[in-house]
Amino acid sequence: MVSGEKGEQAGRPGEQAPGGEQLALIRETVRKAKEPRAKPRTWRGAALAEGLPVARVLVDKGLVHLDQFFDYAVPAAMDEDARPGVRIRVRFGARVVKGRREGGTLHDGFIVERRADSDFAGPLAPLAQVLSTEPVLTPALLRLCRQVADRYAGALADVVQLAVPPRMARAEREPSPDPLPDPAPPAPGPWTRYPTGPAFLQALARGDTPRAVWLALPGPHWPLELATAAATALAAGRGALVVLPDGRSAARVDAALTALLGAGRHVLLTADAGPEERYRRWLAVSRGAVKAVVGTRAAMFAPVADLGLVALWDDGDSSHAEPHAPQPHAREVLLLRAREERTALLLGGITGTVEGAQLVDSGWALPLAAAREEVRAAAPLVRTVGDADQARDEAARAARLPSLAWRVTRDALAHGPVLVQVPRRGYVPRLACDRCREPARCAACSGPLEVREEGGTPSCGWCGRPAADWHCQECGGFRLRASIVGARRTAEELGRAFPKVPVRTSGRDTVLATVGAAPALVIATPGAEPVADGGYAAALLLDGWALLGRPDLRAGEEALRRWALAASLVRPAGQGGTVVVLAEPTLRPVQALVRWDPAGHAVRELAERAELRFPPVARMASVTGPPAALAEFAELVRLPEGTEVLGPVPYRVPRAQGGEGWERLLYRVPPGQGGALAAALKAARVARAARAAQLPLLLRMDPPDIG
């Protein structure tokens, strides 16, 4: 059986979120004693709605961090329209002068509940206006937002802003199309390439909740596989949600689903559509007219009715992390939904993440991968060019192009396009000695040397001093190695070496979705690789050195991810597909690529994290701010038992917003305690805000930049 029905075990998804406590905490602040009165008093004697004269309101921008609801009186005239979930406008922040309310600014908000009475002791202000009768913040969506807010120690209003798109009146006026009948179940198609693939679909078709961490075979079939899974859920009468890291991949799944089911049974929720069309599609989902959603990050909140399957593609892609507060990650939100809404889960990618490996390790999800011979049949041949090879290769040194790479390119160009993956421009890796690879450091302050522009003088990344006459402290070498410059130049060399072959580039400003099957050199930055018709004949991965040189916990996972994504666009080895990666063959991610064993890599990474007690084997949170703010916070917070406090240490604030002299405090708790930690941090933040909190403070669950 593919299904992991045996109940929630230890590990994050099964974590019994002390969200309950959190809810209680918030309710207490609303329910400050006082027994309810028969009739709420109100300002101005206007007639109130008869049945349920009180509306509990989520005020959009006022007091966000206090995270509480406010009760308003419902005028009789608004009784009909003021339903739970609708957008309203209220006066907030007024003050009483000589028995009259004065001032108060209009705020947008949502009605979360209609009630017979209020817990609030004072007189209630009336709702100012019902903006729209569309119940957008439905009880189910509200519950999800609440859980995400608790999970991330954030405010409900912040999450709601992420989950409910801005209103577009025109789209709202139009009726949504009538829902289509459930489709017939699709054929398993390429899923038969995986031993447990058909079983996963069958469980889905039965309405079970199978949960799988899926390692997709390299090649062009994964969009159809995702679409097939979604269509199977639909055929079983349930909804489906597929989240992808970018518009291009979402468009591919959208196309596959349209090919499978025709139009009208799903919507594509991406930024490309524009706000009005996007809202129109979102409404179709919210109204239950459409039961399947394919989209990018923000679609993770899509209010799909009777959700039966959540699927996430390539969860290692950093764009799955929402940049806005409280910075929820699509993987975590979808795991939450899978648990709370009792849905199947499909966490897929060409490679995996440690988080995925942990889901398998805990038994909550089952691995879904192809057999070894199937992998061998689908994967390209991977060859490495390490330092030793390059050093030996005199011709290569002269041409700045390893001869293996040159030969592979020449041979492959006879059969089709060749992909050249180069590091992203503007990405500045550390410089190192060309001879011994020792990182190049500033003679004055030991900061890392950088080259800001191609051909420029290297300078210190800390103190800014130029280092024109640098020489290596270790070996006396005087040549610097900068992989960006090197790789870009290599790409240029290639273009010159094959003058008759067209060169196409895909990167930041112009990202190509596809290229044809004709011979061409396709230069692309990671993540911007076009899909080649019939697959690339070969790929050169020139940024190995840059990817692995980063002092990041995820450097290895990320390097493997980017290489494998590029390599997955290359034809299988049996059809001559070859990949050359310029990286040390002894390194773990390089070996994983050569053997095409991303699962093994993730498992080893997980074991290492467990040993170091690094996330996701522990849960962490960071608090960043001026030392005084940290001290104040540390005094206020009541941490759950067993919390480790790390730091504070000086911390450079990423954005210019912060300031000099900030520090960062890390909290670490064992797995299963994340919810308790989040609740504690949130309580402290609320307590701090209730006082006069003028010092800035950034709070973050699962900080991404540790190690």
Partner DNA sequence: AGCACGCCGACT
Partner DNA sequence: GTCGGCGTGCTC
Question: Contact, 493 vs 401, CB < 8 A?
Answer: yes
CB of 25 to DNA, least distance (A): 15
694 binds DNA (CB under 7 A): yes
* Segment lying near DNA (by CB under 7 A), choices 115-123, 181-189, 347-355, 655-663: 115-123
* Of the candidate residues 5, 39, 93, 454, the single one contacting DNA (CB under 7 A): 93
Binding to DNA (CB under 7 A) within 14-73 occurs at 32, 62-63, 65-66, 70-73
DSSP secondary structure of 318-342: GGGB--STT--BHHHHHHHHHHHTT
Of 522, 603, 521, 497, the residue nearest 557 (C-alpha): 603
- Residue number with CB closer to DNA (70 or 194): 70
- Residue number with CB closer to DNA (24 or 690): 690
Site string for DNA, 72-91 (x = CB under 7 A): xx-----------------x
* Of the candidate residues 36, 84, 104, 288, the single one contacting DNA (CB under 7 A): 104
Question: Contact, 580 vs 405, CB < 8 A?
Answer: yes
92 binds DNA (CB under 7 A): yes
Determine whether the annotation assigns residue 145 to a binding site: no
H or E stretch at 197: helix 197-205
Angle between helices 555-567 and 598-612 (to 10 degrees): 170
359 binds DNA (CB under 7 A): no
- Residue number with CB closer to DNA (79 or 529): 79
Read off the amino acid at residue 244.
L
* Of the candidate residues 95, 170, 652, 655, the single one contacting DNA (CB under 7 A): 95
- Residue given tokens 């064993």 in the structure block: 597
Cα 341 to Cα 238: distance, rounded to the nearest angstrom? 12
Largest CA distance in the chain: 92
CB of 54 to DNA, least distance (A): 9
211 binds DNA (CB under 7 A): no
Residue 365 has, within 13 A of its CA and on its CB side, a CA count of: 27
Question: Contact, 182 vs 209, CB < 8 A?
Answer: no
192 binds DNA (CB under 7 A): no
- Residue number with CB closer to DNA (113 or 389): 113
* Of the candidate residues 122, 139, 262, 476, the single one contacting DNA (CB under 7 A): 122
**CA torsion through residues 147, 149, 151, 153, sign:** negative
Cα 501 to Cα 521: distance, rounded to the nearest angstrom? 7
Of 426, 549, 314, 589, the residue nearest 581 (C-alpha): 589
Question: How many residues contact DNA, by CB under 7 A?
Answer: 29
* Segment lying near DNA (by CB under 7 A), choices 159-167, 347-355, 535-543, 690-698: 690-698
- Residue number with CB closer to DNA (354 or 697): 697
* Of the candidate residues 2, 88, 125, 234, the single one contacting DNA (CB under 7 A): 125
670 binds DNA (CB under 7 A): no
- Distances from the Cα of 591 to the Cα of 73, 375, 586, 606, 628, angstroms: 66, 15, 7, 17, 47
CB of 68 to DNA, least distance (A): 7
Q: What angle do CA 543, 544, 550 make, to 5 degrees?
A: 100
- Residue number with CB closer to DNA (510 or 694): 694
* Of the candidate residues 103, 181, 323, 499, the single one contacting DNA (CB under 7 A): 103
* Of the candidate residues 2, 88, 124, 617, the single one contacting DNA (CB under 7 A): 124
687 binds DNA (CB under 7 A): no
Of 53, 59, 71, the residue nearest 125 (C-alpha): 71
CB of 92 to DNA, least distance (A): 4
* Segment lying near DNA (by CB under 7 A), choices 119-127, 327-335, 425-433, 583-591: 119-127
* Of the candidate residues 33, 97, 263, 398, the single one contacting DNA (CB under 7 A): 97
CB of 101 to DNA, least distance (A): 6
Cα 598 to Cα 591: distance, rounded to the nearest angstrom? 10
* Segment lying near DNA (by CB under 7 A), choices 10-18, 93-101, 406-414, 460-468: 93-101
Q: Which residues contact 158 (CB under 8 A, 6 or more apart)?
A: 64, 149, 324, 325, 326
Binding to DNA (CB under 7 A) within 150-169 occurs at none
Question: Contact, 440 vs 430, CB < 8 A?
Answer: yes
Cα 332 to Cα 153: distance, rounded to the nearest angstrom? 14
Cα 520 to Cα 514: distance, rounded to the nearest angstrom? 12
Of 535, 543, 601, 547, the residue nearest 571 (C-alpha): 535
Determine whether the annotation assigns residue 442 to a binding site: yes
* Of the candidate residues 120, 364, 633, 667, the single one contacting DNA (CB under 7 A): 120
CB of 109 to DNA, least distance (A): 11
657 binds DNA (CB under 7 A): no
- Residue number with CB closer to DNA (155 or 666): 155
Question: Contact, 358 vs 12, CB < 8 A?
Answer: yes
- Residue number with CB closer to DNA (71 or 315): 71
363-395 as b/e: b if 16+ CB within 10 A: ebbbbbbbeeeebeebbbbbbbbbeebbeebee
SS3 content of the chain, % helix, strand, coil (to 5): 35, 20, 45
323 binds DNA (CB under 7 A): no
94 binds DNA (CB under 7 A): yes
Question: Contact, 241 vs 311, CB < 8 A?
Answer: yes
Q: Is 73 helix (H, G, I), strand (E, B) or coil?
A: strand
What is the 8-class DSSP label of residue 429? P
* Segment lying near DNA (by CB under 7 A), choices 4-12, 76-84, 561-569, 687-695: 687-695
Q: Residue positions in the annotated binding site for Zn(2+)?
A: 433, 436, 442, 445, 460, 463, 472, 475
**Footprint of DNA on this chain (CB under 7 A)?**
32, 62-63, 65-66, 70-73, 91-95, 97, 101, 103-105, 118, 120, 122, 124-125, 689-690, 692-694
Q: Residue positions in the annotated binding site?
A: 433, 436, 442, 445, 460, 463, 472, 475
